[in-house]
Amino acid sequence: MSNYDREQKEMDAVRRSENRGLRFEVIGWMLLLFELIPLTFLWVGLRSGSLLWTYWSVIEGATGIVLVLIGRVYKAKAGSYVSRLDMEKAA
């Protein structure tokens, strides 16, 4: 396998990782934004003694935050790998 083919395979893997991170981040932000809809029912549920909307909001919010953080980690790792490859090429 030539050096060019190896570099292309590495860059393809980095792009896939970056895309995966972007997908995680977008889904996480969508969950957090769609969380605003059930939050409108939170006060009514609490007044009636139901904790359904409270639990729903906490679980959905935590899931959204975790997905955003996972996406940022994937993108950061891909970015650091690309910068390391660029430094190796420059040297």
Judge contact between 31 and 58, C-beta under 8 A.
no
Q: Which class for 41: exposed (0-12), middle (13-18), buried (19 or more C-beta within 10 A)?
A: middle
| pLDDT tens track for 3-57 | 778 778 888 888 888 899 999 999 999 999 999 888 888 888 888 888 888 899 9
Tokens 């997908």: give the residue.
Answer: 23
pLDDT reported for residue 21: 93
Domain range annotation of the chain: 21-90
Q: Encoding tokens for residue 48?
A: 């009636």
Tell whether the torsion through CA atoms of 12, 16, 18 and 19 is positive or negative.
positive
* Average pLDDT of span 62-68: 97
Q: Comparing C-alpha atoms, which of 48, 69, 44 is closest to residue 57?
A: 44
